[in-house]
Amino acid sequence: MFEDVYLWIKALHVIAVIAWMAGMLYLPRLFVYHSEAEIGSKQSETFKVMERRLLKAIINPAMIVTWLAGLYLAWSGHWFSFGWLHVKLALVLAMSAVHGFFSRWLKDFAADRRPRTQKFYRIINEVPTVLMIFIVIMVIVKPF
Kindly report, residue by residue over 90-100, the tens digit of the pLDDT.
999 999 999 99
pLDDT, the chain, mean: 97
> Is residue 3 very low, low, confident or very high in pLDDT (cuts 50, 70, 90)?
confident
Q: What is the mean pLDDT of residues 105-126?
A: 96
How do the domains of the chain map onto residue ranges?
Answer: 1-141
SS3 assignment for the chain = CHHHHHHHHHHHHHHHHHHHHHHHHHHHHHHHHHHHCCCCCHHHHHHHHHHHHHHHHHHHHHHHHHHHHHHHHHHHCCCCCCHHHHHHHHHHHHHHHHHHHHHHHHHHHHCCCCCCCHHHHHHHCCHHHHHHHHHHHHHHHCCC
Whether the pLDDT of residue 33 is over 80: the answer is yes
Question: Is 13 assigned to a binding site?
Answer: yes
Q: For a pLDDT cut of 70, what percent of the chain falls above it?
A: 100
Kindly report, residue by residue over 36-85, the tens digit of the pLDDT.
999 999 999 999 999 999 999 999 999 999 999 999 999 999 999 999 99
> Is residue 118 very low, low, confident or very high in pLDDT (cuts 50, 70, 90)?
very high
Q: What is the mean pLDDT of residues 102-118?
A: 96
Question: Is 48 assigned to a binding site?
Answer: no
